[in-house]
C-alpha cells in the first residue's frame, strides 16, 4: 500500500512538472502571466486580458550579465591573491574602483527606472502618457550609452591584457575575476522597461508614428553603442533590445534566427575560456593569449550584431 501511495505521489509530481514546462515553453507564452513573480506583496492584482490579446508576445531573455554566478566579484573577494608584485597585482584596486562605479550606476538606474514601476505597463502610472514613456526611454538609453563607468571598463580591458601578458600562468580564479571585472552598469532595468513598452505597443497604445520613432531611435543608439563597446554584457543587453526592435518593426523570422545565432555564439565564448586546453589544474596557461582571444571573439560578435542591423534595420538608422 505504501509503495502504491509513493508511486502515485511520484506520478503526480512528474505530471505537475510536465504541465508547468509545457505551458512555460509554448509559443503563446505571455510575460504578463508571470509578472506576479516580480511584484512585491500588496500590489494590485493584474487586470485580466481581453480576447484581443495579440498572439505574438515579447519573450524576455535571461539576463546572463545579471546572473549571480556571472557577476563580478564583490568587495570581499576582489583582491588578486597569490601573485608576485607587478602589473597584475595592481588590478585588484582597479576592480574595486569598477565596483564602486557600478554601485553608483545602479543607484542612478534604479532611481530613474524604478523596478516596481517599470515591470507592469498595465497598472503602473509610469506608462499613462505614451509621449512621456518615449521620453523616459530616450533618457535611459542615453544614460546607459554615455555612463563614465563603461569607458573605465574598456580601459580596464586594455590594462588587463597588458598585465596578463607578463605571466606564463595565473590561477583560474583570479583570471575569472579579471574577466568579469568590466561587466558594470548594464543592469537589466532598461531591457525590462523596453519589454513593457513592447507590450503596450502590441496592445495598440502607441500610434504608428510613435512606434517608428521608437524603432528609429533604438536602432540608431544600439548601432552607436555596439560600434564603441564590444564587451560581452553590452552585446547581451543590446541583443535583447534588438529582439524588441525586431518585434516592433515587424522583422521576419530570418532576423530572429540570426539574432539567436549571435546570442548562442556569445554564450559559447565565455564557456570556452574555461574549457580551453590551456587551462590545467585550475591554472590558465598563457593568460595573455587566452584573454586577447576572448576579447577578439567578443569583437566578432559585436561586428555580427552591427551587420544584422545593416541587413535588416538600415532604413531606420538616423545618421
Q: What digits encode the pLDDT tens for the residues 244-283?
A: 999 999 999 999 999 999 999 988 877 776 555 444 458 8
Q: Is residue 117 part of a domain?
A: yes
Q: What pLDDT shows up at residue 42?
A: 42
| Interstrand relation of 279-280 and 283-285 (parallel, antiparallel or unpaired) | antiparallel
Structural domains of the chain, count: 1
Burial of 165 (C-beta count, 10 Å sphere; 0-12/13-18/19+): middle
Burial of 195 (C-beta count, 10 Å sphere; 0-12/13-18/19+): buried
Query: 106-146: per-residue pLDDT in tens?
Result: 999 999 999 989 998 888 889 999 999 999 999 999 999 99
Domain residue limits at 206: 61-316
Q: Is residue 6 part of a domain?
A: no
Query: 191-224: per-residue pLDDT in tens?
Result: 999 999 999 999 899 999 999 999 999 999 999 9
Record the cell numbers describing residue 175, joined without a space. Answer: 583570471
Q: Is residue 68 part of a domain?
A: yes
Q: Is residue 51 part of a domain?
A: no
Q: Is residue 163 part of a domain?
A: yes
Q: Is residue 172 part of a domain?
A: yes
| Interstrand relation of 283-285 and 169-171 (parallel, antiparallel or unpaired) | antiparallel
Q: Is residue 81 part of a domain?
A: yes
Whether this prediction's pTM lies above 0.75 is answered by: no
Amino acid at each position: 500500500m505504501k509503495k502504491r501511495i509513493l508511486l502515485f505521489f511520484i506520478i503526480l509530481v512528474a505530471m505537475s512538472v510536465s504541465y508547468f514546462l509545457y505551458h512555460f515553453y509554448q509559443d503563446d507564452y505571455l510575460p504578463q502571466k508571470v509578472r506576479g513573480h516580480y511584484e512585491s506583496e500588496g500590489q494590485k492584482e493584474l487586470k485580466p486580458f481581453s480576447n484581443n490579446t495579440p498572439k505574438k508576445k515579447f519573450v524576455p531573455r535571461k539576463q546572463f550579465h545579471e546572473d549571480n554566478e556571472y557577476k563580478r566579484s564583490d568587495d570581499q573577494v576582489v583582491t588578486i591573491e597569490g601573485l608576485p608584485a607587478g602589473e597584475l597585482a595592481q588590478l585588484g584596486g582597479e576592480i574595486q574602483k569598477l565596483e564602486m562605479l557600478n554601485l553608483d550606476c545602479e543607484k542612478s538606474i534604479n532611481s530613474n527606472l524604478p523596478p516596481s514601476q517599470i515591470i507592469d505597463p498595465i497598472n503602473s502610472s509610469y506608462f499613462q502618457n505614451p509621449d512621456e514613456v518615449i521620453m523616459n526611454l530616450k533618457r535611459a538609453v542615453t544614460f546607459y550609452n554615455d555612463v563614465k563607468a563603461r569607458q573605465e571598463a574598456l580601459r580596464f580591458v586594455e590594462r588587463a591584457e597588458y598585465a596578463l601578458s607578463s605571466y606564463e600562468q595565473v590561477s583560474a580564479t583570479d583570471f575569472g575575476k579579471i574577466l568579469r571585472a568590466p561587466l558594470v552598469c548594464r543592469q537589466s532595468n532598461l531591457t525590462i522597461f523596453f519589454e513593457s513598452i513592447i507590450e503596450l505597443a502590441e496592445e495598440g497604445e502607441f500610434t504608428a508614428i510613435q512606434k517608428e520613432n521608437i524603432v528609429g531611435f533604438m536602432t540608431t543608439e544600439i548601432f552607436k553603442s555596439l560600434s564603441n563597446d564590444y564587451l560581452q554584457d553590452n552585446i547581451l543587453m543590446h541583443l535583447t533590445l534588438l529582439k524588441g526592435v525586431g518585434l516592433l518593426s515587424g522583422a521576419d523570422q530570418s532576423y530572429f534566427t540570426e539574432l539567436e545565432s549571435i546570442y548562442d555564439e556569445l554564450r559559447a565564448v565565455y564557456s570556452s575560456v574555461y574549457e580551453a586546453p590551456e587551462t590545467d589544474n585550475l591554472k590558465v596557461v598563457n593568460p595573455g593569449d587566452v584573454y586577447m582571444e576572448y576579447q577578439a571573439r567578443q569583437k566578432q560578435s559585436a561586428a555580427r550584431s552591427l551587420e544584422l542591423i545593416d541587413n535588416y534595420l538600415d532604413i531606420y538608422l538616423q545618421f
